[in-house]
Amino acid sequence: MTEHGVDSVVEDWISANIGPVRTIERHHRWRPAWFVTAERGGREVGLYVRGDREGFGFASVAAEAAILRVMEAHQIPVPHVHGEITQCGSLATAVVMDLLPGVPNPCHTDDAPGIDAIMDAYVDALVRTHSIDPAAFAAANLRIPDGARALALDHFETFVTRYRNNKQRPEPLLEFAIGWLRRNAPAHRSTPSFVLGDTGQYMAADGRITGLIDVELAHIGDVSHDLAGLRLRNVTEPMGDLGRVLRRYEAASGTPLDPAAIEFHTAKFALCTPLGVAIVLHLDLPLTDIIQYIEWFHLLSLHAIESIARQADVQLSAVSLPDPMPTAYPGAIAGLASMVESLPVPAGIAEYHRSAVAKVAQFCHRVSEYAHAIDAADLDDIQDLLGSRPADRAEGDETLEKFVRTAAPHHDPALIALLHRRVMRQLLLMEPLLTGGRIGHVIPLTELLG
């Protein structure tokens, strides 16, 4: 079904179940979504229609809707869910909910007192959310983990299973991190709580929170997972003084922070992203937004290995991009992005798609310049570690992953440093295309908390 056809399905459902549609606009982003104005009872209502995202099949909007209904019943500020569109063209499901007033994560300002007020309100809502009895989510099919190991790893293992079921090629960093996390799971925490799963997402207006959003990764787990999530989101969506935010949570909840647990969950939660989106890269899905997925894959892999390094007390060295080794016809590749941007398209979502494809062209240019040099540097590292040089990248990745799977823990420091260099080279390759145009790092807890 064409995009216009999907738009019509959305409009027809809202007309039949809520009221006449006055305006409908596709949200210009990587997942299918729409802003809608409809008439109900003689007044206009704002709606947001949220569809399942491609390449992330186990976190469905239908499951998210069930969670939102439970949260609303417990007076947590969330959008009210009006219903689900189950026959939404190429989408499995789309959920129709209220459009909350305000803007998302409005902390990109110099108004420190205003940011503090908003984050205080967010923390208060987070504490209330964590206080909901986990049993209340049985109807939403959220299972309560049994014991400390299950609390730390059960949700994580769903990502590992999906990754392994769809894996098409070696991933040495992911395999090392999976093994390290399993070997180092906290054994001293066993209190299950409802957690949002991907914290720091909300709408705000006039210095107040209007509601929490994006709870598709919510589950029953350790509250340290959500505090770790704030550290990760702060990299690309700053939240003011994050140390103050964490201390505010400690004071409002009455529960002392556990830095070791927060650091573990930082590595674990970070790793869930590359595990979750690996299918997009491994299956070569023809997604317009593929560069966004590649960024998530490498950036969160970096955050995972840097967190593991902090926990293992491994000092990481600075990494630089090797000198370029351009392939033939560099001019044609370099000019492709501007050629794409010059193509005339209708206003709206087509403009977004054109820009996304132009970004792919920019990425291809960077790959054509640096991929051979990066492969050579990575193979040098493998030779230094194992004593022999693989013939090419494919053999190198396979050889390194095989070693990672069987290496004893005393090899951890060398592997952490090597894997860090590998992922940093990939991020340096695409750095001009990253969100914010730079490689962001998670602020160490020692700096946040003093």
Strands (E), 99-255: 103-104, 193-195, 202-205, 208-212, 219-221
- Looking at every residue in the chain, the average pLDDT score rounds to 93
CA distance 278 to 290: 11
pLDDT of 429 above 60? yes
Residue 55, pLDDT score: 54
Give the mean model confidence (pLDDT) for residues 178-202. 97
Any idea which residue has 């803007």 for tokens? 103
Locate 202 and state its tokens: 């909300």
Enumerate the β-bridge partners of residue 95: 50, 84
Lowest average pLDDT, out of 27-36, 70-79, 125-134, goes to 27-36
Mean pLDDT of 287-312: 95
Please compute Rg for the chain using Cα positions.
23
Query: CATH homologous superfamily of domain 3-99?
Result: Phosphorylase Kinase; domain 1 (3.30.200.20)
Position 1 scores a pLDDT of 44
3 pLDDT above the threshold of 70: no
* Listed residue (88, 31, 94) closest to 62, CA to CA: 94
Q: Which residue has the higher pLDDT, 153 or 53?
A: 153
Lowest mean pLDDT among 5-19, 130-144, 181-195, 299-313: 5-19
What's the confidence (pLDDT) of residue 178? 98
- Of the CA atoms within 13 Å of residue 227, those in its CB half-sphere come to 28
Please compute the mean of the pLDDT values over residues 141-152 and round it to a whole number: 96
pLDDT at 4: 58
Hey, which residues does 21 pair with through a beta bridge? 38
Strand partners, 209: 204
pLDDT of residue 58 exceeding 90, the answer is no
Has residue 265 got a pLDDT over 80?
yes
pLDDT over 90 at 77, yes or no: yes
The pLDDT of residue 114 is above 70 = yes
Query: At CA 328, angle to CA 322 and CA 332, rounded to 5?
Result: 105
Q: Please give the CATH architecture assigned to the domain spanning 104-323+357-449.
A: Alpha-Beta Complex (3.90)
Confidence of residue 92 (pLDDT cuts 50, 70, 90): low
CA distances from 74 to 27, 34, 71, 128, 223 (A): 29, 27, 5, 9, 18
Amino acid (one-letter) located at 305? I
Please compute the mean of the pLDDT values over residues 416-437 and round it to a whole number: 97
Least confident of 84-88, 304-308, 320-324, 402-406: 84-88
Domain ranges of the chain: 3-99, 104-323+357-449
- Give the model's pLDDT for residue 23: 94
Mean pLDDT of all residues in 45-66: 82
CB atoms within 10 A of CB 365: 18
pLDDT digits (tens, 9 = 90+) for 204-257: 998 889 999 999 999 999 999 999 999 999 999 999 999 999 999 999 999 999
Predicted local distance difference test score (pLDDT) of residue 88: 60
Total residues belonging to the chain: 450
Kindly state the average pLDDT of the residues 413-442. 97
